[in-house]
Amino acid sequence: MEKNHLNPSRINRLYCSQCNTAYDYRTAQTFATCCGKPLLISYDLDTDFPISRIKDRPNTIWRYFELLPVLDEANIVSLNEGMTPVIQLEKLAARNGFDQLFLKDETNNPTGSFKARGLSVAISKAKELGIRKCIIPTAGNAGGALAAYCAKANIAATVIMPAHTPRVFKDECFLYGAELVLIDGLISDCGKKAQEMNKEGAYFDMSTLKEPYRLEGKKTMGYEIAEQFDWELPDVIIYPAGGGTGLIGIWKAFNEMKALGWIKGPFPKMVAVQSAKCAPISEAVKDPIHWKENFTPEATIANGLAVPYPFGMDLMLDVLSASNGETVLVNEDEIMKGILEFTRKEGILVSPEGAATYIAFQQLLGSGKITEGQKVLLLNTGTGYKYLENIIH
């Protein structure tokens, strides 16, 4: 990245999301050992940081450097991730008798998904902290992103992935020089394997929300959305939720920008879309105490949505509650239909996860939970090209 003498990071605290206990943000940290919950980072958000300061910076996530946890810009590991386009979906909107339907298209990120954002920040931080080996359980996209950023940073990467993941996700790990371990099962089984392999603590565990840095990268989507909508947020944002870092991160960004004085309320309704084959959030909304007991997760063509036991469940439920949000379920046929509508009407081959957000939009429009005149933003979190094996038989 072009060096333009950024101001120091405004990071001021690392704390347990459950009990608020402070942890040292200058040393390598994983999750909160006090409560077994995610750690969160906070920043000095006084109003002495005008929007104008970022306006002319390079179009990557690092334009928000002061609001990210890396202390020294020399440690930035960037492949030019971020500032992905927001596209107005005129044809899909018209097809549904709607007007203001938009897509934030994460396709153009390095390795083809929004996972690049989180891994750019986390690997930059790993470099800063002198970490030499990382391990990640993944549904596919995060593994490729970790492998690419680790290659650039000279850090060893181990990726643990379900064996049924499309081949390209495995091949890219090999090409970027990562060690790949395949598991018969879902990402939760990969997570168990990662813990087992890391018994001696040889690796830094990059599991979703089991470290605090990937979330900070993901939150840049929220900053960009505000910037791209000229600091007036859309009414509804529809996000395909797996472990939930995008949902939690976007909401975190909105709150930070409000404290900075960059945006005013009201905030959007946040919608978490899940596959009917694996819908832990809607199970937890129905029964927050016993949801795991009668829950049988299955694989889906939207690999990133098959996250049976998200570590950040409480944080996702907080976002849904604070935003008067919704959970929506989509089935496999609907996801396929969504992909074909996107390709044939808009010329975009979205990921199955991205297609799911369009189906959710249709459902919410049908039930009157979205109404004409609102501004709705869908998130296409990755390219569909990596999923062709799932889509075409």
Ligand X SMILES: Cc1ncc(COP(=O)(O)O)c(C=O)c1O
Residues in the site for ligand X, rule: CB under 6 A? 113, 139-142, 208, 240-246, 304, 307, 351, 353, 381-382
Of the two residues 271 and 307, which places its CB atom closer to ligand X in the complex? 307
Q: How far is the CB of 297 from ligand X (least distance, A)?
A: 14
| Beta pairing class for 326-330 and 376-380 | unpaired
CB 281 within 8 A of CB 327: yes
Q: For residues 98 and 211, which CB has a smaller minimum distance to ligand X in the complex?
A: 211
- Classified as helix, coil or strand, 137 is strand
What are the tokens at 112?
Answer: 């083809």
Least distance CB 304 / ligand X (angstroms): 2
Q: Which is nearer to ligand X, 260 or 335 (CB)?
A: 335
**CB neighbourhood size of 55 (10 A):** 9
CA angle 304, 308, 314 (to 5 degrees): 100
Q: Which residue, 207 or 374, has its beta carbon nearer to ligand X?
A: 207
Looking at the DSSP assignment, which residues form a beta bridge with residue 136? 159
- Least distance in Å: CB of 233 to ligand X? 20
DSSP category for residue 299: -
CA distance linking residue 363 with residue 326, whole number of Å: 11
Q: How far is the CB of 71 from ligand X (least distance, A)?
A: 25
Asked whether 59 and 86 are in contact (CB, 8 A), the reply is: no
Amino acid at 191: G
CB 200 → ligand X: shortest distance, Å? 27
| Least distance in angstroms from the C-beta of 215 to ligand X | 9
β-pairing verdict for 376-380 and 236-240 = parallel
The residue (of 141 and 158) whose beta carbon lies closer to ligand X is 141
Burial class (CB in 10 A: 0-12, 13-18, 19+), 91: middle
Q: Which is nearer to ligand X, 60 or 390 (CB)?
A: 390
Residue in the block written with tokens 């939150």: 219
| Residue in the shown chain whose Cβ atom is closest to ligand X | 304
